[in-house]
Amino acid sequence: MGLLYNFPNTDGTNYWCEASKCILISVSNYDFYTEYIPIVLVDHSTNCKYTQKALNVQNKGGRLMLLAYDSNEIDDDYNVDDIIGEKVEIPTVIINKDFAQAIKEYLKNGRDSIGLAIKFSGVKKKGEVNVDLYYRSDDIRTLNFFKEFQYYKELLKDKLFFVPRLKYNNFVNEYTSNELSTNSNAPCVKDYHYCTTSNYDILVNNPRIILMENLRQSCIYETFGLDSYWNYMVKFSEKCADIEKLNFNEECAKNVIKSLKFNEEELENCLKNLVEGEGKIEDDFEQFKKKKIFSVPEIIINGMRYKGSFSAKQIFSTICHSYLEDGECETIMNIWRNKGNIGKRLILTMTLIIVVLLIFTLLCYRRMVQKNLEITINEKIQEQAMKAISQYKAFQEGKGGESGVLGTTHKLELVGD
């Protein structure tokens, strides 16, 4: 759901082929995480690939490209570039010439934008959602996803069927070892198909550490199930992959496993079977090739590639509205809204309590200060009065008594408040 804009290039065309001619999209009150995203109308042309157009739209601030075809019969000619396509994260919708013309005429009548709701139909499967997440175990962005999406996973419950797909590189003539440790620097297991690289951004110089974490996460999923795997991923992200305090190593992973009380013998047996026989490593590698996954993270939902924002809220919204039955989605959305409202009410209640306590504390403090001030003033008055009386008595008994002169006046000074 979003607002459609028509932003011609500086040369008067609307092809979006040359980045230097594309206009920066500025939409007021635009929030990346809201459903009201900027949708950009772009004309079909043979000047460049669709993926180049989409990349320019993306880089200029658009979140979806609405591509206006030049005829009513859309020819699915795969006018794409896979290399550029790796950088594109926004979806593209192609519409025919008549529909595009109607939209352009509507915009000519003095309207700045059109509100569009786009729903992808024909992707439902009895209310079930099959999600394949393609990633590598050292990708911080993906690791953070598990914690962010945990709440939405609980909302979806048994409707979500989730499969992690770990990425392996194909390196020829690289050193291979099936040893289940990170003592060596061998980047591969089995043969040169199943390898990883180092990651200097998270201070991992030994590719074997990442390779073993790939295998470990696969085995935790295979051996202990989705919930245990998810708990491990959340805790591993917090303990071992915190960008502020990086600790990405085998020891940290094993400490997380112990804290979750996994059966370490079962896990060890799974790892042995994984590197000695055929199984998930080969399956993941083939799925990457079959789905043409070139960069990670990537999400496939019910066989279709998700091209929206990689944020937990947006992914959940897409799953709910596009892949569940309307009744099911509405029920889940109501639970989500109610929990959100409960949270807001709780925050408001706590704020009011804090304000009341603060006012009460200030009143008590003020009363205490006034009382202490009154006591201090009274004590000073009594002290000065007693001092004055003592001075007067001493004067009467002293100089006044010796003179014997009646009617002599004396000046008495009372010093103080």
Give the domains, in start order, of the chain with CATH numbers: 2-116 (3.50.30.30), 130-325 (3.40.30.10)
The Cβ of residue 18 has, within 10 Å, a number of other Cβ atoms equal to: 15
* pLDDT tens profile 242-252: 988 899 999 99
**Which is more confidently placed, 380 or 103?**
103
Question: What pLDDT is stored for residue 403 in this prediction?
Answer: 42
- pLDDT for 412 beyond 70: no
Comparing C-alpha atoms, which of 215, 196, 214, 216 is closest to residue 206? 196
* pLDDT tens profile 114-168: 888 887 665 555 577 999 999 999 999 999 999 999 999 999 988 899 999 999 9
Mean pLDDT, rounded, for 208-214: 96
Q: Which residues neighbour 228 within 8 Å (Cβ) at sequence distance 6 or greater?
A: 220, 260, 262
* pLDDT tens profile 70-101: 888 887 555 777 678 778 878 889 999 999 99
What is the residue-averaged pLDDT of the chain?
83
Comparing C-alpha atoms, which of 83, 102, 75 is closest to residue 294? 83
Confidence band for 30, pLDDT divided at 50, 70 and 90: very low
- pLDDT for 388 beyond 80: no
Question: What pLDDT is stored for residue 340 in this prediction?
Answer: 55
Question: What pLDDT is stored for residue 414 in this prediction?
Answer: 55
Mean pLDDT, rounded, for 383-401: 67
* pLDDT tens profile 215-233: 999 999 999 999 999 999 9
Confidence band for 402, pLDDT divided at 50, 70 and 90: very low
Could you tell me the end-to-end alpha-carbon distance of the chain, in angstroms, rounded to an integer?
76
- pLDDT for 299 beyond 90: yes
Question: What pLDDT is stored for residue 120 in this prediction?
Answer: 66
Confidence band for 397, pLDDT divided at 50, 70 and 90: low
Cβ atoms 257, 267 nearer than 8 A: yes
Confidence band for 308, pLDDT divided at 50, 70 and 90: confident
Question: What pLDDT is stored for residue 282 in this prediction?
Answer: 95
Mean pLDDT, rounded, for 37-50: 88
Question: What pLDDT is stored for residue 55 in this prediction?
Answer: 92
* pLDDT tens profile 316-364: 988 887 888 777 787 887 876 666 545 556 677 788 888 888 887 887 8
Question: What pLDDT is stored for residue 118 in this prediction?
Answer: 81
Confidence band for 46, pLDDT divided at 50, 70 and 90: confident
Question: What pLDDT is stored for residue 33 in this prediction?
Answer: 41
Question: What pLDDT is stored for residue 29 in this prediction?
Answer: 44
**Which is more confidently placed, 369 or 213?**
213
Question: What pLDDT is stored for residue 191 in this prediction?
Answer: 80
Mean pLDDT, rounded, for 39-44: 91
Question: What pLDDT is stored for residue 362 in this prediction?
Answer: 80
* Position 153, amino acid: K
Q: Give percent of the chain above pLDDT 90.
A: 38
Question: Cα separation of 78 and 126, whole Å?
Answer: 30
Mean pLDDT, rounded, for 32-53: 80
Question: Cα separation of 353 and 356, whole Å?
Answer: 5
* Token duo for residue 328: 């099911």
Mean pLDDT, rounded, for 16-39: 69
Mean pLDDT, rounded, for 277-286: 93
- pLDDT for 31 beyond 60: no
